[in-house]
Chains A and B, each alone.
Chain A
């Protein structure tokens, strides 16, 4: 656990000083939300299913930007190669990178969510749903969905690291595989915004948690094979 936290701490220190990932993600997300808002003609009565899809598309597009950059920073000076030379389990390296990516993406999402509320769920009468009931479950789904797509994104961004077209490869590899996470997350968020009872989306929530567990376990086990021969 200590070694996972070391990688997490190092990534945050590097990001804090370079400020490359977080501002890019925030500005990109803001622009996406603006584009969607203009496309929906500034209306706040868009149905909740569409609104949920908009927020997840925004999260995933901006999240993939961060994931691609996360391993590019490791590639500079080939610092990642030296990390691979240390006697640390590859699973720990994956879990450390996953932890820092999840926290980084979640922080960015935390800044984006108020804008999302303002653009899509706010009208002249105020916010069009009962915030007290929806906020916590909504945030919970955001965390679970983020773990799902970031676990696959972290895995494949390390694979795309040594390809010449890595910025193009990452979405091509990740998008098809995160479809189940996206569909489930959008479905649950939409149910929460519609004010449905917990029992209505409880099964979907179990499915989402299962996706997270399977993706994290599989990726941490397969990471060693993925990065073999990548140190040169």
Chain B
């Protein structure tokens, strides 16, 4: 695969779990600083696609590169550059908010870690809860903490897997404001069911259904137009 043309690139990307194909030849290209929103019904393969790009799981076939590094062979280089937010908060329940950040921040060798943790907790509105155990926090608050942890090492590329899922109004507003402020200098791939947030944040949109890209556009359609496109694409692709 040619390196450097796109920040994120996949060609014929495939994955199957057991005998079930989950991704069937995904071709995607995201340039530096672009924001791609991927829509799709449950089970379309969105989370699997992000998991491969974030080096959680191996691709079954095809090629994928992130920041010019191959997802199969150059995982550590990719891991230094990316951040990942999932609908699952992936936090340690018996550590405090600050301890969770400090634990992960140390692996990224974040300079001035304590100060950085305080700043980022302030930014997501959790400084007052810095010493609270995660097990005592509400789901929305945990999700905000997960966002803080992901931004701790100032990643160049962000993978967001249903980040609005379970967020309260305040949390969603904070996430939108953070993502909006990063739009020019970070490359973001986000999967979501939230049409309003997805369209307002994304520069490009794609629809995934049954492991295939059934629609992609470098220009954002209007909300009503997109809903029509989504319904026709998913319906036509959903019968396989």
User: Measuring CB to CB, which residues of chain A are less than 8 angstroms from any residue of chain B?
Assistant: 2-3, 6, 10, 13-14, 17-18, 73, 76-79, 81-89, 228-229, 231-232
Contact pick for A77, options B48, B79, B90, CB 8 Å: B90
Contact A85:B92 (CB < 8 A) given known A6-B106, A232-B51: no
Contact A85:B84 (CB < 8 A) given known A17-B94, A229-B58: yes
> Are A81 and B90 neighbours in the complex by a CB distance under 8 Å?
yes
Contact A229:B57 (CB < 8 A) given known A14-B94, A87-B76: yes
In the docked arrangement, what's the CA distance between A17 and B108, Å?
26
Residues of B near A231 (CB, < 8 A) are 51, 56-57
Confirm or deny: B55 has a beta carbon within 8 angstroms of a beta carbon on chain A. Answer: yes
Interface of A is mostly: helix
5 A-B pairs with the lowest CB-CB distances in the bound complex, closest first: A231-B56, A86-B107, A82-B90, A87-B79, A17-B94
Q: Which residue of B lies closest to A18 (CB)?
A: B94
> Are B58 and A79 neighbours in the complex by a CB distance under 8 Å?
no
> Within B85-113, which residues are at the interface with A (CB < 8 Å)?
86, 88-95, 99, 103-104, 106-108
In the docked arrangement, what's the CA distance between A65 and B80, Å?
35
In the docked arrangement, what's the CA distance between A3 and B109, Å?
10
> Are B93 and A76 neighbours in the complex by a CB distance under 8 Å?
yes
Q: Which residue of B lies closest to A82 (CB)?
A: B90
> Within B111-140, which residues are at the interface with A (CB < 8 Å)?
133
> Are B56 and A86 neighbours in the complex by a CB distance under 8 Å?
no
Confirm or deny: B176 has a beta carbon within 8 angstroms of a beta carbon on chain A. Answer: no
- Supply 19 further A-B pairs (C-beta < 8 A) apart from A6-B106, A78-B86, A81-B88: A6-B103, A73-B94, A77-B92, A77-B93, A79-B91, A81-B56, A82-B84, A83-B107, A85-B55, A85-B84, A86-B108, A87-B76, A87-B80, A87-B108, A89-B76, A228-B58, A229-B57, A231-B51, A232-B47
Residues of B near A89 (CB, < 8 A) are 76
In the docked arrangement, what's the CA distance between A18 and B133, Å?
11
Residues of B near A18 (CB, < 8 A) are 94
Number of A-B pairs, beta carbon distance below 8 Å: 76
Residues of A near B149 (CB, < 8 A) are 82
> Within B39-78, which residues are at the interface with A (CB < 8 Å)?
47-48, 51, 54-58, 76-77
13 A–B contacts, CB within 8 A, in A order: A3-B107, A6-B106, A13-B94, A73-B94, A77-B88, A77-B92, A78-B88, A82-B104, A83-B107, A86-B104, A228-B58, A229-B58, A232-B48
Chain B count of residues within 8 A CB distance of the other chain: 31
Nearest-Cβ distance from residue B153 to partner chain A, whole angstroms: 9
In the docked arrangement, what's the CA distance between A77 and B108, Å?
21
Contact pick for A10, options B84, B92, B133, CB 8 Å: B92
Q: Which residue of B lies closest to A6 (CB)?
A: B106
In the docked arrangement, what's the CA distance between A18 and B95, Å?
10
Contact pick for A17, options B51, B103, B133, CB 8 Å: B133
In the docked arrangement, what's the CA distance between A10 and B56, Å?
22
> Which of A6, A73, A77, A89 has most chain B Cβ within 10 Å?
A77
In the docked arrangement, what's the CA distance between A2 and B108, Å?
12
> Are A79 and B57 neighbours in the complex by a CB distance under 8 Å?
no
> Are A79 and B79 neighbours in the complex by a CB distance under 8 Å?
no
Residues of B near A78 (CB, < 8 A) are 86, 88, 90
Q: Which residue of B lies closest to A80 (CB)?
A: B90
Contact A14:B47 (CB < 8 A) given known A86-B79, A229-B58: no
In the docked arrangement, what's the CA distance between A84 and B56, Å?
7
